[in-house]
Amino acid sequence: MKDEGKTTKRHPIGSPPGTLMPLGEVYSGAVEMHVLSYTEDTVRRQHFADADTLAEHLQDPALTWITVTGVHDSSLIESIGRTASIHPLFLEDIMNLMIRPKVEFLDSQMLIIMKTPELGEDSHVLQMCQASIVTGPGYVITFLDRPMDMFEPLVKRIEAKGSTFRRRGPEYLAYAVMDILIDRYYTVIDLLGDKSEELEEEILKGGDSTHAVRIHRIRNQLISLRKTVWPIREVIRSIMGEEGRIDPSIRIYYSDIYDHVIQIMDHVETLRDIISGLMDIYMSAVSNRMNEVMKVLTVIATIFIPLTFIAGVYGMNFEHMPELAWRWGYFIVLGIMLAVSVIMIIFFRKRRWI
């Protein structure tokens, strides 16, 4: 279960640059730190509890991948930043969960801030989780704003015997992490697409007020996806433009995930068009149902108009009305009313009004 802490939207006025304060909806559970060190021949997985142990791993000649889950502990994040020589402005961005996806370069380090979607079990709540990736000489540090069980397939690829993954540097590992984060968009989009199809079938059978609520929910979720996908495209484009920083043999992989982002943007736009169409279908279904109700009510009212007229005529109680004295007058009038009703119903059916 996710443990959410207090939400803070901005730093206090006058705070100096590099002020470390968690901003946004912050996970307040225990911070977890894991390290995966590997060379072409060896792989080692460990768990560490403090930044002092981190220094030992950063001095390891093997490529080191460190994962920190939870960015709400300012003192711990500051210690990690001091140990890994991460600029305070980078740390400030890492703790800001309301920041848009971006990439920053400083000396030999690169900071990539990504957003990845997570759809709740009931598919009602879409959360945008943040992952910050810091790369440096021989290491990659991944800061996650909350627990995300998604990197295990990547770990297995690294641990696989004879894996070519272990021959590449930190830029390739950063690409692999970004690839997983971006692939989660496909999963969410597929779920929203399935929900849209189910919703369309239900609306065609007859729309009600709950369908409008579901349409607006999906539309808002697509808006959230679009707001995060667009800047990710610029992030990857900026990384690809760093010719002296990214090895040419690695740049093609970033180009691949750039294509994935473009595809995701196309899928999101297509779903937005579908949802707009669903709203039109819903309004048409509601309007048609209302027209059917009004048609039935109109037919009933039309049938009763002549009956009301006949009843009104014989309810005037004038003294000289010959029919009032007839022995069978009451039944004759009822028969006339019934005949008029039957004739009108037959006429309406022939005209296909009912």
Coil, helix or strand for 267? helix
pLDDT at 239 over 70: yes
- The answer to which of 21-30, 94-103, 186-195 has the lowest mean pLDDT is 21-30
Query: 139-144 and 63-69: which strand pairing?
Result: parallel
Q: Which of 341, 346, 319 is nearest to 333 (CA)?
A: 341
Mean pLDDT of the chain: 85
113 pLDDT band, cuts 50/70/90, is very high
Report the C-alpha gap between 231 and 237 in whole angstroms: 10
The reply to whether 125 and 244 lie within a common domain is yes
Burial 293-303 (b: 16+ CB within 10 A, else e): eeeeeeeeeeb
pLDDT at 237 over 60: yes
CATH number at residue 125: 3.30.460.20
pLDDT (average), residues 112-135? 85
Compare 22 and 211 and report the one with higher pLDDT. Answer: 211
The reply to whether 67 and 215 lie within a common domain is yes
The reply to whether 33 and 160 lie within a common domain is yes
CATH number at residue 331: 1.20.58.340
Residues 6 or more apart whose Cβ sits within 8 Å of residue 286: 207
Q: What angle do CA 219, 221, 224 make, to 5 degrees?
A: 115
Q: Dump pLDDT digits (tens) for 51-71.
A: 777 777 777 778 889 999 888
Q: Give the end of a domain, one of 235, 258, 284.
A: 284
The reply to whether 146 and 222 lie within a common domain is yes
292 pLDDT band, cuts 50/70/90, is confident
The reply to whether 174 and 79 lie within a common domain is yes
Task: Please count the other Cβ atoms lying within 10 Å of the Cβ belonging to residue 249.
Answer: 10
- Which H helix or E strand runs over 68? strand 63-69
The reply to whether 294 and 247 lie within a common domain is no
Q: Give the end of a domain, one of 236, 251, 284.
A: 284
The reply to whether 184 and 158 lie within a common domain is yes
The reply to whether 68 and 193 lie within a common domain is yes
The reply to whether 315 and 208 lie within a common domain is no
Compare 107 and 142 and report the one with higher pLDDT. Answer: 142
pLDDT (average), residues 89-110? 89
- What pTM was estimated for this model as a whole? 0.78
Q: What is the pLDDT of residue 15?
A: 67
DSSP state of 257: H
pLDDT (average), residues 120-138? 84
- Burial label, 34 (beta-carbon count in 10 A; 0-12, 13-18, 19+): middle
pLDDT (average), residues 276-300? 84
Domain that holds residue 328: 289-350
The reply to whether 58 and 160 lie within a common domain is yes
Q: What stretches of the chain show up as alpha helix (H) in DSSP? A: 51-58, 74-84, 88-95, 152-159, 170-205, 209-240, 248-313, 329-350
Total domains in the fold of the chain: 2
6 pLDDT band, cuts 50/70/90, is low
Residues 6 or more apart whose Cβ sits within 8 Å of residue 302: 344
Q: How far apart are the first and last CA of the chain?
A: 56
Q: What is the pLDDT of residue 322?
A: 80
112 pLDDT band, cuts 50/70/90, is very high
pLDDT (average), residues 124-141? 89
- Please give the structure tokens belonging to residue 264: 């995701």
Report the C-alpha gap between 176 and 65 in whole angstroms: 12
Q: Give the end of a domain, one of 232, 266, 284.
A: 284
The reply to whether 201 and 300 lie within a common domain is no
Q: What is the pLDDT of residue 14?
A: 62
pLDDT at 120 over 80: no
The reply to whether 160 and 188 lie within a common domain is yes
